[in-house]
Amino acid sequence: MLRAILKSMRPKQWTKNGFIYFALFFDRQIFQLGPLLRTTAGFVLFCLVSGVVYIINDIADAEADRHHPAKSTRPIASGQLPVPIAWTAAGLILTISLALGFFLEPAFAAVLAVYFLLNLAYSLRLKHVPIVDVIIIALGFVLRVHGGVTLITVERFSPWLYVVTTLGALYIGLGKRRSELALLASGAGSHRKVLDGYTLPLLDQYITIVSATTIVAYSLYTFSAPNLPANHTMMLTIPFAIYSIFRYLYIIQVTHAAGAPEEVLLTDRPLQFSILLWGVAMLLVFYLP
């Protein structure tokens, strides 16, 4: 039963919560033990709260998931995890997480609460509203970044990163919708109601707009943010950003495997290598004396 609860919390999706480290990294505090421990504690709590959201989402989608080619094996949809036990586990985990979050930092607990309420509204209603559904996904990433900001004393964090995070999350969310629509074809609406409000040409236009805007916003950040080196070496990271965006677009259009972004991140070697080089380059720019 514990294994079924953990599986319902979708640990593979917890990689998204890594955005909480943005403030720590970009404010040049990644090697300071105190801020690192506080941010890591926040990361764990975000994983628990996001896991609660996934449990509630699976409860709400149980009937539709039973007819889905992949989601039918989820513990709640398959009957492995009874709904009453799932509700009980979700309530206990949420209560403990919010209490620990308040002890860690009251402002961070408020971010956790807003994240939960926003995603609760998403699970119960907003995920069925085209366009709004992907905006809610993007807001979830922005809240993760802001949660990291509340946990440390920020000195040089640039608001540009909120813009880039929003656009990048929209890009991933739209790519996920496109892959789902392409995979499920004419029966898409019966598996995810919101897909009836999209078409492949429409999503392709959205993706084109958002991907281009993401590249422009990131490029502007690399030479205009006040916390960057005066020699503009951050601009050298732009090619890695462009390749990563193009690679994900290739996955969306050619392999149709972006329906689960966390799986793409954990399995696609070229994308992993690009992100690794991107991270190393930024590490050198920010922390090399």
Tens digits of per-residue pLDDT, 3-39? 888 888 888 888 889 999 998 988 888 889 999 999 9
The residue among 142, 157, 172 that closes a domain is 157
Q: Look up the pTM and report it.
A: 0.86
Band (245; pLDDT cuts 50, 70, 90) = very high
Does 188 score more than 60 pLDDT? Answer: no
Same domain for 170 and 153, yes or no, is no
Q: Which residue has the higher pLDDT, 91 or 61?
A: 91
Percent of the chain at pLDDT > 90 equals: 42
Whole-number pLDDT of residue 210: 95
What is the per-residue pLDDT for 260? 65
Average pLDDT score over residue span 223-237: 80
Domain tally, the chain = 2
Q: Which residue has the tokens 């656009």?
A: 167
Q: Do both 280 and 167 map to the same domain?
A: yes
Residue scoring higher pLDDT (256 or 144): 144
Size of the chain in residues: 289
Domain containing residue 217: 158-289
**153 and 101 within one domain:** yes
pLDDT at 67 over 80: no
Name the token pair of 168: 């990048």
Output 74 or 192, whichever has higher pLDDT: 74
- Range 243-267 average pLDDT: 76
Mean pLDDT of the chain, nearest integer: 86
**pLDDT value of residue 192:** 66
Here the CATH number for the domain that contains residue 141 is: 1.10.357.140
Residues 144 and 29 in one domain: yes
Q: 225-231 contacts: CB < 8 A, separation 24 or more?
A: 225/158, 225/160, 225/161, 226/156, 226/158, 227/26, 227/27, 227/28, 227/156, 227/157, 227/158, 228/158, 228/285, 229/285, 229/286
Contact criterion met (CB below 8 Å) for 147 and 162: no
> 139 and 167: one domain?
no
Instruction: Looking at the structure, tell me whether residues 168 and 151 fall in a common domain.
Output: no
Which of these three, 157, 173, 196, is where a domain ends?
157
| Mean pLDDT of all residues in 93-107 | 95
List, in sequence order, every beta strand (DSSP E) within 50-123.
none
What local confidence, expressed as pLDDT, does residue 156 receive? 73
pLDDT band at 206 (very low <50, low <70, confident <90, very high): very high
Domain boundary among 157, 185, 210: 157
Question: pLDDT category, 186, cuts 50, 70, 90?
Answer: low
Between residues 154 and 110, which one has the greater pLDDT?
A: 110
